[in-house]
Amino acid sequence: MAGKQETIRKTIEALEQQVDVMLSEAQKKFHYTLEQDKAIFENVVIERHKVIKQALHRTLLDARIRNLIAAPFIYAVLLPFILLDGFVSLYQAICFRLWNIPRVKRKEYIIIDRHRLPYLNAIQKLNCVYCGYANGLIGYVAEVSSRTEQYWCPIKHALRVKQPHLHYYDFIDYGDYENLLARIRELRKQME
SS3 assignment, position 13: helix
Of 108, 79, 103, nearest in space to 151 by CA: 103
Does the pLDDT of residue 103 top 90, yes or no?
yes
For residue 91, CA distances in Å to 12, 99, 106 come to 29, 12, 13
Q: Considering only CA atoms, which of 83, 78, 90 is closest in space to residue 132?
A: 78
Question: Residue 76 class from Cβ within 10 Å (0-12 exposed, 13-18 middle, 19+ buried)?
Answer: exposed
Secondary structure (DSSP) of 36-76: TTEEEE-HHHHHHHHHHPPPHHHHHHH--HHHHHHHHHHHH
50/119 Cα distance (integer angstroms): 6
pLDDT of 191 reads: 84
Please give the model's pTM, rounded to 2 decimal places: 0.84
Residues forming a β-bridge with 34? 39
Q: Average pLDDT, stretch 105-113?
A: 96
Given a contact cutoff of 8 angstroms between Cβ atoms, the answer to whether 8 and 165 are in contact is no
122-169 pLDDT per residue, tens: 999 999 999 999 999 999 999 999 999 999 999 999 999 999 988 898
Query: pLDDT tens-digit profile of 10-61?
Result: 888 899 999 889 988 988 899 888 888 888 888 888 888 888 888 888 888 7
Cβ pair 129, 115 in contact under 8 A: yes
